[in-house]
A and B are shown apart, each in its own frame.
Chain A
Amino acid sequence: MSSDWETLQNRSFLESNARARAIGLADPGTFTELAGPRCRLSSPHLPLLGEAVEFDDGIVTGVGRHGSRPLFIASQEGRFVGGSVGEVHGAKLVNIVRMAHQAYDRMLAETPELPEERRPAVVISFETGGVRLHEANAGLLAHAELMDQFQDCKGKVPVIGIIGGRVGCFGGMGFVAAATDAIIMSPFGRLGLTGPEVIEEEMGKDEFDASDRALVYRVTGGKHKYIMGDCNLLVEDTIAAFRQGLGKVLAMSYAEIDRLRRIGSLDKVKAQLRTLAALVEIAPRDSRDVWTFAGNPAAETLVDMKLDDFLRTVKRLENAS
């Protein structure tokens, strides 16, 4: 198992499937899948519509370890119906977060002085377009439940979001990701609320040309989100790099992790409003205008810059952490 785990580490996160990511994010040989394919908990709704099903409904959930912490893991599979959230998929995601704060309560009840580095954490690999239309109402309600569970984790259990799959993280899951404590992306990761295709369809090509892949990446991609402070760590596209990023966050105290948040308090909302006012002032036509505003005079060069060089030279917006 562990030699197997080793080979996973150097794999492209983008190219890996959800299960490989989940196994690789945990310490070697520690991942136990919960409600896995063996349980055959596939969607009861898709067959009625003549659509293909998957035994895990497009999400791998389980528990592993990260150092001395129990790590509750969810990993969405973008190749199955775009990683979309249906009733089963949503229930698995909601419950893995719930299990984490229940585990926290249990551990703290047994050991009130439990050091922070032994407390549970949650990591979610987002690869999703949001609600699954075939079971849209149930998917929608699961989003609300997730936000509720995150609130129960707040101040107790660090929740870390990872975005490095091909589908990106869009729709309602875009704000679910925004509500995590920390976000780790690769330059290939994309994060947003309304996907470029939907904006183009609703508002026209003048508003957003979704066929312009470079533009799509400039607006939703990891580099822009890093400059904005909407992601906290930008890492190379390997499972190992994401795992190291996770390790960096989980080495912090909860108070430090809380400072990585973009939203979740009155002060953070005020800071976002200051940033927003500044953006309105510069009226950006393209993310490059934002990058220049952040202090990167040669904004265009950031697009193709290697990650090491990018991280060394880039200036981020003032509030970015």
Chain B
Amino acid sequence: MENLIGQGRLAIDMIVDPDSFREGVVGTLQLTDEEFGPGAVVGTASLDGAICTIIANDAMTINQKFPVVYAGIIGLEEGYKMALAVYHSIEADRDRAPGEKRALVLIVDTPGNGAGKLEEMAGMNKATGAYQMALAEARKAGHPIVAIVVGRAISGGFLCHGLQADHVLSLSAAFNTMIHVMPLTSIARITRLDIEWLQELAKSNPVFAAGPDFFYRLGGVEELVDSIPAMRDRVIAHIAEVRALKAAGREDQLGPWGRGTLGEVRGGRTVRGRVMQTMNEEFAKVADRYLK
């Protein structure tokens, strides 16, 4: 098997315990309408014997109500459907101790958010935002969230489905995984910069280039996984690691903030920290004037 692009459902089966995935069911949520947000697959599974919520993309469907939503695109219904799965996970474990909240596993293979006139009229920004807010809430409530990129993680699609996780893993570039805002060819066209020169520059500066390796250097991906069969074990290991960090009160090493720090450690995002430090130092000098 060369890659898993377009194979979100297969990826679920390869990661969770055999025959454990129950689609459409999360806590009290029971989705029965097959035409509701078909590009998003949500459900409950067992992973290494523990209950978890699965949220994935299905690239093989078309949303009949929203013609721009196909090939794994996250449309209006898909975004809200994913949000429902997260809120119902939180709800189901509301009375559990923080260390016992179920994990959420995000299996990522999306080319982006729905781009259409109806989407803009209805407010696609809300649907993708709703899912991200739900994930951030679940993460801070104690649920370990691990995302794994198995195919495409493109721009706003990756922000929506992936970058709110505690840890983000990706199959390495050998599996044709795509992580980018835009391919370099498009960046070259829009910025009117020479493509060969951009490719050359990208070697020393990961800030605009496409591919999982560059995101790794920027701290946007915690770990690159170099075999498909290894995905399951790595997801299980990262859930355990995330749980341990949460138990130790080290939330600052998790999620988007943790990846900001990681970007500095790996040398890909070195200015971010300096900018924040400057602001903090300047504010410290005047803080009493505003906060007293």
Task: Report A127 CB to chain B, min CB distance, Å.
Answer: 16
Task: Report A36 CB to chain B, min CB distance, Å.
Answer: 8
Q: Is A199 in contact with B159, judged by CB distance below 8 angstroms?
A: no
Stretch at the interface among B12-20, B212-220, B229-237, B239-247: B212-220
- What residues on B are CB-neighbors of A287 within 8 Å? 121
- What residues on B are CB-neighbors of A35 within 8 Å? 275, 278-279, 282
| A51 to B276 Cα, complex, angstroms | 24
Find A145's partner among B126, B260, B279, B283 (CB 8 Å cutoff).
B260
| Proximity string of chain A (76-104) to chain B, C-beta cutoff 8 Å, 1 when within and 0 when not | 00000000000110111011101100010
Q: Is B133 in contact with A264, judged by CB distance below 8 angstroms?
A: yes
Q: Is B115 in contact with A202, judged by CB distance below 8 angstroms?
A: yes
- Nearest residue (CB) in B for A174 is B125
A266 at the interface (CB under 8 A from B): yes
Q: Is B80 in contact with A273, judged by CB distance below 8 angstroms?
A: yes
- What residues on B are CB-neighbors of A144 within 8 Å? 132, 159, 163-164, 256, 259
- List 18 A-B pairs, Cβ < 8 Å: A32-B286, A87-B269, A99-B280, A136-B208, A140-B220, A141-B219, A141-B220, A144-B259, A147-B164, A148-B164, A172-B156, A179-B129, A199-B120, A202-B115, A208-B117, A264-B130, A265-B87, A268-B130
Q: Interface residues, chain B, CB within 8 Å of chain A?
A: 65, 68, 76-77, 80, 83-84, 87-88, 91, 113-130, 132-134, 136-137, 140, 155-156, 158-160, 163-164, 180-182, 187, 190-191, 193, 198, 201, 205-209, 214-215, 218-220, 255-257, 259-260, 263, 269, 271-276, 278-280, 282-283, 286-287, 290-291
| A314 to B156 Cα, complex, angstroms | 33
A257 at the interface (CB under 8 A from B): no
Check A133/B133 contact, CB under 8 A, given A88-B271, A199-B116: no
| A162 to B160 Cα, complex, angstroms | 22
Stretch at the interface among A2-10, A41-49, A238-246, A295-303: A41-49
Q: Is A224 in contact with B121, judged by CB distance below 8 angstroms?
A: yes
Among the interface residues B129, B160, B190, B218, which one has the most CB atoms of the partner chain A within 10 A? Answer: B129
Task: Report B222 CB to chain A, min CB distance, Å.
Answer: 13
Q: Is B159 in contact with A137, judged by CB distance below 8 angstroms?
A: no
Among the interface residues A49, A106, A264, A266, which one has the most CB atoms of the partner chain B within 10 A? Answer: A266
| A194 to B120 Cα, complex, angstroms | 7
- What residues on B are CB-neighbors of A269 within 8 Å? 80, 83-84, 87, 130, 134
- What residues on B are CB-neighbors of A198 within 8 Å? 115
- Nearest residue (CB) in A for B206 is A137
Find A134's partner among B134, B206, B208 (CB 8 Å cutoff).
B208
- Nearest residue (CB) in B for A69 is B290
- What residues on B are CB-neighbors of A290 within 8 Å? 121
A-B contact count (CB 8 A): 263
Task: Report B138 CB to chain A, min CB distance, Å.
Answer: 10
Q: Is A91 in contact with B83, judged by CB distance below 8 angstroms?
A: no
- What residues on B are CB-neighbors of A152 within 8 Å? 140
Q: Which of A130-181 contact B (CB under 8 A)?
A: 130-131, 133-145, 147-148, 150-152, 154, 171-172, 174-179
Task: Report A221 CB to chain B, min CB distance, Å.
Answer: 11
| A194 to B116 Cα, complex, angstroms | 8
- Nearest residue (CB) in A for B186 is A133
Task: Report A246 CB to chain B, min CB distance, Å.
Answer: 17
Check A140/B158 contact, CB under 8 A, given A134-B208, A145-B256, A145-B260: yes
Task: Report A269 CB to chain B, min CB distance, Å.
Answer: 5
Task: Report A227 CB to chain B, min CB distance, Å.
Answer: 10
| A49 to B291 Cα, complex, angstroms | 42
- What residues on A are CB-neighbors of B291 within 8 Å? 70, 103, 106-107, 120
- What residues on A are CB-neighbors of B218 within 8 Å? 137-138, 141
A255 at the interface (CB under 8 A from B): no
- Nearest residue (CB) in B for A33 is B282
